[in-house]
Amino acid sequence: MKKELQEAREEYTMAHLGLQNAAEHPLDQFKEWFTAYRKVAQRDYNAMVLSTASPGNRPSSRVVLLKGIDKGGFEFFTNYTSAKGRQIDQNPYVALNFYWPELERQVRIEGCAERISAQESEAYFNSRPAGSRIGAIASPQSEVIDREELEKQVEALAQLEESELKRPENWGGYRVMPNLFEFWQGRESRLHDRIQYLPKGEKWIKQRLAP
Ligand SMILES: Cc1cc2nc3c(=O)[nH]c(=O)nc-3n(C[C@H](O)[C@H](O)[C@H](O)COP(=O)(O)O)c2cc1C
């Protein structure tokens, strides 16, 4: 196993990213790459790794789905009392990571997570299929549970009228307001392109980082 892993390597040859051709605004660069990835992804093209840190600075990561780019930030939905929600309450600094192997690309984002408004969460919750709404209501995300109990709870909720499936107060969206972007494009012989954006006043500055 170890030998196979040590010998596993890919060559990256598909594209280049330079300071000149990277967009002036990182959100424009993100949207360009995201649109390209959407066309080739097999599934879950909007999946991203969200990393949070506990107040004691212990990091943890999990996948969530990007559900919008709005007001300059990246939105996802979850349970506010889940492990990640509790961590964000105490330490709003988070990181997002998108890995798009079909395009030999990675995008890293760091920023601050803030809750979106209750109205915005409500609007998205109500747009979800009944099954997803039931799941969100029934699941005390990140708690230790008994699967049978969870299924009983789901069965009971399934008897209700759809209009009764209301958003629980502890379920809603976060918006990650970015303060760092890095766009990584794989290149030959590990000489990858890495373009970092940092905010400077109202604008962003672009820099090339060593691979
Ligand atoms: C493809 C995929 C998409 C997911 N999307 C979400 C999501 O949008 N929101 C969410 O709360 N959990 C989502 N999850 C589950 C999380 O990875 C995680 O198990 C859950 O949020 C609990 O994390 P926590 O205990 O760290 O809070 C997804 C998992 C996968 C694999």
Which of 43, 52, 65 should be mutated for ligand 1, with most atoms under 8 A from CB? 65
Q: Which CATH class is domain 10-127+169-208?
A: mainly beta
Reported pTM: 0.97
Burial 34-72 (b: 16+ CB within 10 A, else e): beebeeebeeebeebebbbbeeeeeeeeeebebebeeee
Residue 121 confidence class, pLDDT cut points 50, 70, 90: very high
82 lines ligand 1 (CB under 6 A): yes
3-state secondary structure of 50: strand
| 190 catalytic residue (yes or no) | yes
| C-alpha distance from residue 77 to each of 44, 66, 139, 189 (Å) | 15, 8, 14, 39
Whether the predicted pLDDT of 70 surpasses 90:
yes
Q: Are 180 and 130 in contact (CB under 8 A)?
A: no
Q: Which amino acid is at 135?
A: G
pLDDT > 90 in the chain, percent:
99
Cα(48) to ligand 1 centroid in Å equals: 10
| Backbone phi and psi for residue 32, each to the nearest 5 degrees, phi listed first | -65, -45
Neighbour tally for 142: CB within 10 Å:
15
pLDDT, tens digit (0-9, with 9 covering 90-100), for 17-60: 999 999 999 999 999 999 999 999 999 999 999 999 998 999 99
Domain ranges of the chain: 10-127+169-208
Q: State residue 55's pLDDT score.
A: 84
Phi, psi (5° rounding) for residue 90?
A: -95, -20
The dihedral built from the CA positions of residue 90, 92, 93 and 98, taken in this order, carries a sign that is positive
Whether residue 175 is predicted with pLDDT greater than 90 in this model: the reply is yes
Residue-level pLDDT at 80: 98
39 Cα to the center of ligand 1, angstroms? 23
Q: How far is the CA of 149 from the centre of ligand 1 (A)?
A: 21
pLDDT at 180: 98
CB of 193 within 8 A of CB of 184?
Answer: yes
